[in-house]
Each structure stands twice: as structure tokens, then as C-alpha cells.
């Protein structure tokens, strides 16, 4: 079992407000999970539970230095949009 984390660079957001993008991704996240889940939902969150969740982290992390894109098997770099959206 793992975590799903999505990160977009300012260039990938293309001017979209990051808070609005984050809120929308949280709203749509349950639909995606339900569509892709391989295990039955056992007492998943209700709509009321989700509406009370905060999208703001309770802790902050230090800024990370920009990294070079990951190399694929053929030696080509992976675009940030596809690398950042993979689930681990």
C-alpha cells in the first residue's frame, strides 16, 4: 500500500491558482480512487467527512532544490507532468 502524491510546477499550472487546483483535485480524488480500487470500500468517508477536511498541511516542509528530470530507460528525460503524477 502506498501514497498518491501529485505536484505541478508553476509552468505546468500555467497561471491557474494552485489553491483552486488543489481543492478540485481533492474533490475528484475519491471518484478516481473508486474507479481504480481493487478492494471494496469498507466504511469510506462520507461527503460530510470530506467537506470538513483541510487541504492545508498541518506541518510544513523545507523548500526542495530543483532537480533534473528523471531519465527513462532510453536515456530521455521524463516530462515533469508525467513524472510528478505517477502514484507510488
| Domain housing 85 | 1-56+77-88
Classify residue 22 by its DSSP letter: H
Longest C-alpha distance within the chain, in Å? 47
Q: For 6-24, what is the mean pLDDT?
A: 93
Q: Do the domain assignments include residue 84?
A: yes
Q: What is the pLDDT of residues 31-71, one digit of tens each?
A: 888 899 988 877 666 666 666 666 666 555 566 656 666 65
SS3 77: strand
- In whole angstroms, give the CA distance from residue 81 to residue 6: 9
Per DSSP, the three-state class of 38 is: coil
**Is 83 a member of any domain?**
yes
Question: What is the pLDDT, as a whole number, of residue 59?
Answer: 57
Q: Give residue 41's pLDDT.
A: 79
Res 12: pLDDT: 94
Q: What is the pLDDT of residue 28?
A: 92
Residue 21 lies in a domain: yes
Q: How many domains does the chain have?
A: 1
Amino acid at each position: 500500500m502506498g501514497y498518491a502524491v501529485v505536484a505541478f510546477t508553476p509552468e505546468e499550472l500555467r497561471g491557474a491558482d494552485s489553491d483552486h487546483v488543489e481543492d478540485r483535485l481533492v474533490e475528484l480524488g475519491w471518484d478516481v480512487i473508486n474507479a481504480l480500487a481493487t478492494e471494496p470500500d469498507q466504511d469510506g468517508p462520507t461527503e460530510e467527512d470530506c467537506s470538513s477536511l483541510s487541504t492545508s498541511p498541518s506541518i510544513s516542509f523545507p523548500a526542495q532544490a530543483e532537480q533534473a528530470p528523471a531519465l527513462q530507460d532510453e536515456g530521455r528525460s521524463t516530462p515533469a507532468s508525467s513524472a510528478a503524477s505517477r502514484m507510488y
